[in-house]
Structure formats: structure tokens, C-alpha cells
Amino acid sequence: MSVSPFPVPPRAMTAHLNGVGKNGSMVPTSTVPTPSRIGDEQERVANAVVYCEANFGAIDGKTANGLVRHSEKYKILAVIDSLQAGLDAGVVLGEEPNSIPICRDLADALLHVGGVPDYFIFGMAPASGMLSSHERGLVLEAIDLGMNIVNGLHEFLNDDPVFVAASAAKNVEIIDVRKPRAKKDLRLFSGRIAEVTCPRIAVLGTDCAIGKRTTATILTRVLNERGVKAVMVGTGQTGLIQGARYGLALDAVPSQFCSGELEATIVEAFENENPDVMIIEGQGALSHPAYSTSSFILRGSCPDAVVLQHAPGRAQRCDFEQMAMPTPATEINLIQTFADTKVIGLTINHENMTDVEVDVAITAYECELGIPVTDALSGPPERLAEMVMAAFPELEGLMAAGAR
């Protein structure tokens, strides 16, 4: 494995989930030097720079935020965001420094990392799901330098003749993460979900970009560390880019096939892994009129239980200032009315909150809702495991053993 030009300690998992959105104009990329490929002489994992102009640490930068916190597939060498150039990516996310620099532009990033990374990852998730004209030019510039492209947008670059020709000329790969399988291969719901005999827990939320994937990742990790074999099924582009072994970008699948595609993915993971419990990443919010993905997750996974993520410090839904946030109680009632399931715990996204406010909110929600409540990032990981054990006591023996 190659070594970065700067030390990169293990990335902390303790930080606020998303900050307040930032606005900023795009900064043109300067002339880029073409240093040699990083680590050509060594066996290594793929490395990458992540583009997140004017959005790192903000809601629309959730892909970059997630990759800096956790990535099994890529070694993240730098983040591009001119508004925060010179800062440490971990510090911007409210975590410990992680020696991943935030750079002004692509030229600056390549100078910092001392070579051409394997991949250029588009690390933003704008509501439009499309590249701007400036961003098109930047991606083409990265291709010209010989970098493979990871694209999580709804715009599929492999369908664009300009990108196809450019990638062919440089013999690089473009990965359209959200692109579903061919329609002839899409699967309808079959009822085979009943064959999955281990508990299935969906992590849903009261809004989009609220930390569902992060909580699902931490929950999966803490269960495995305590001897309960947990497998996570991703349902969005960021989880897939991070290296989720099982998953799909649910919001890019035709609605007729969403439940079936998720069901088939869960069945495949169950048959291959024989887990003790399965964690299903949520998308959007069941109560949110702009998203239908939560309904497909509830239908396709038929979860035995739900962990709900909420941001008490968020007054309005992100991207919809005219919409007030729902309360956990109303969302729980909606979920349990819509599906044959039970909400077993509430997790807090502590954006815009002090430590004292988080503690007060946890106590108040536990009294109001009668379920365990914790902050998935800053609270003890054991609290997440305890939520699951309280709902599924048959798993306690596995945890007591500490290993399989």
C-alpha cells in the first residue's frame, strides 16, 4: 500500500453531521502540472481527490463529508474547496485533524499530494443532480490528466459522447455510481424478503441529509465489534462510493422496481453473508413530499425495526425553507402507521446545538417517546448497540461472547 506524502491517521467518527450550507462562486482551475502517478512502484489501494467547491462540511457536500469520515474503497488525499483552502478536512467537520488538506483547486491539490491520484471524485449532491458548465470543464481536465472519474450525480457521463471520447482517449474509467442496471434486468418485489430470517433494521430520518448513512455505518461497526455479525445495505450514492459491498442508488431506479431491487439486494446479502442482523440505510423522509425513497425502503426491506434520526436544531427542512421540520413523534406515528414495524430508538444529529442542548434533548425525547435516545456521533457507541439489544434480546448471547 502506498504512503501519502503526509501522515493520515485513522479517521475519527465523532463529529457533527452537516453544517449550515455555504454559497460561493466557482473558482476556475489554474494550469495543472502533470507530476508522475503516486505510488507507481508500490502495491496500494486506489487514492483520490474529492471535489466539493464551496460545499465541504455543508449539506450539499455530504458525499465529500462522508468520504473524509469513512472510506473503505479509496484513500482520500485531498478535498477541493476554495472557500476553505488551507484548512484540515477533519477540523472543518468538527473532528480531530486528519491531515487531509483542503485545497484551492485541482492544481493546488496535485501539488499537495505530489502526483496524479487514481480518481477524481465529484463529492457534491446538488438538488439538480447535474454538472455546471464549469464542472464539466474541470472533470474533462481531470480525465486529460489520466484520472478515473467517480460520478454520483443523476447525470450519467457515460451517456455523453464528449466524456466517452475523452475517457477513451486517455484510457480511463468513468464510474456513474447512480446508474441502475438495464431495465430488462430490474427485479420486481417477490416476497422473498420473508426468507431473510435475521432482524432487519432500517435507519430512517425526519429530513434528507440528516445523517442516516453515518448512523447506519456506526451502528453496523459497533455491532460487529461486539460479536454480532451485522451487514449494512446502502441505498445511496455516497455509501456505494465509500465501498458498501451491498447496495443500490435507490433514487435512480424506476419506481416500479424500487421495492424489488432493494428486496433482491437484501436477500443476496443475507444468503452470501449469513448475518445476525441487517442494517438498511434510509433516504429522505417518509413525511417529506419531495422524496418517495423512504416508502420504498419500508416496502422493500419490510424492516422489523426502525432507528429514527432527527436534528432538533434544524427548524426547516433543508432546501425547503417554507417547510417546518416534523417532530420525532409525528414521524414515528407516520412510520408505524405506514408499515408493520416499530421505531426502537431515536438518534440525534447535533448540528447547531451545544453539548448541553443535546443532553437536554436526549432526556426530553426519552421521557416523551419512551424509547432510548442518543447522539450517534458524540455519544457512547454502546448506546446504539443497547437499542438493538433491547429490541432483539436474542442477540445478547452473541454480544456476550464477544466474537463469532
For residue 28, the model assigns a pLDDT of: 33
Polymer length of the chain: 404
pLDDT digit string (tens) for 256-270? Answer: 999 999 999 999 999
Domain final position from 148, 176, 204: 176
User: Nearest Cα to 99, choosing from 109, 110, 86, 90?
Assistant: 90
Q: Considering the domain boundaries, does residue 384 fall inside one?
A: yes
Q: Considering the domain boundaries, does residue 323 fall inside one?
A: yes
What's the CATH code of the domain at 230?
Answer: 3.40.50.300
> Looking at residue 309, what DSSP letter applies?
E
Output the nine-digit C-alpha cell for 303: 424492516
- The answer on 156 and 214 residing in a single domain is no
How far is the C-alpha of 33 from the C-alpha of 90, rounded, in Å? 27
- pLDDT-derived band at 59 (thresholds 50, 70, 90) equals confident
Stated pTM of the model? 0.85
Strands (DSSP E) along 15-169, which ranges?
47-51, 75-80, 102-103, 119-122, 148-151
User: Nearest Cα to 8, choosing from 112, 101, 122, 118?
Assistant: 101
Domain final position from 176, 202, 235: 176
- The torsion angles phi and psi of 371, rounded to 5 degrees, stand at -130, 160
**Does 31 have pLDDT greater than 70?**
no
**Does 7 have pLDDT greater than 70?**
no
pLDDT digit string (tens) for 216-234? Answer: 999 999 999 999 999 999 9
Quick check: helix, strand or coil at residue 150?
strand
**Does 85 have pLDDT greater than 90?**
yes
- pLDDT-derived band at 339 (thresholds 50, 70, 90) equals very high
- The answer on 258 and 328 residing in a single domain is yes
- The answer on 286 and 373 residing in a single domain is yes
For residue 400, the model assigns a pLDDT of: 61
Q: Please, what is the average pLDDT of the chain?
A: 89
**Does 35 have pLDDT greater than 50?**
no
**Does 3 have pLDDT greater than 70?**
no
Residues 373-401, buried b or exposed e (16+ Cβ, 10 A)?
bbbbbebebebbbbbbbebbeebeebbee
- H/E stretch holding 246 reads strand 246-247
pLDDT digit string (tens) for 374-402? Answer: 999 889 999 999 999 999 999 987 766 65
For residue 37, the model assigns a pLDDT of: 55
How far is the C-alpha of 242 from the C-alpha of 400, rounded, in Å? 30
For residue 337, the model assigns a pLDDT of: 98
For residue 403, the model assigns a pLDDT of: 45
User: Taking residues 147-153, what's their average pLDDT?
Assistant: 97
Burial class (CB in 10 A: 0-12, 13-18, 19+), 223: buried
User: Nearest Cα to 139, choosing from 161, 112, 121, 158?
Assistant: 121
User: Taking residues 162-182, what's their average pLDDT?
Assistant: 97
Q: Considering the domain boundaries, does residue 42 fall inside one?
A: no
For residue 214, the model assigns a pLDDT of: 93
For residue 131, the model assigns a pLDDT of: 94
Distance of CA 125 to the CA centre of its chain: 11
Q: Considering the domain boundaries, does residue 242 fall inside one?
A: yes
User: Nearest Cα to 150, choosing from 165, 161, 133, 163?
Assistant: 163
Total domain count, the chain: 2
Q: Considering the domain boundaries, does residue 17 fall inside one?
A: no
Alpha helices of 171-254 — where are they, by DSSP H?
212-225, 237-242
Q: Considering the domain boundaries, does residue 82 fall inside one?
A: yes
Q: Considering the domain boundaries, does residue 29 fall inside one?
A: no
Domain final position from 176, 205, 236: 176
User: Taking residues 64-89, what's their average pLDDT?
Assistant: 96
For residue 45, the model assigns a pLDDT of: 85
pLDDT, greater one: 399 or 90:
90
8 A C-beta contact, residue 140 and residue 163: yes
- H/E stretch holding 110 reads helix 106-113
How far is the C-alpha of 215 from the C-alpha of 228, rounded, in Å? 17
How far is the C-alpha of 353 from the C-alpha of 230, rounded, in Å? 31
Domain that holds residue 61: 47-176
- The torsion angles phi and psi of 44, rounded to 5 degrees, stand at -160, 170
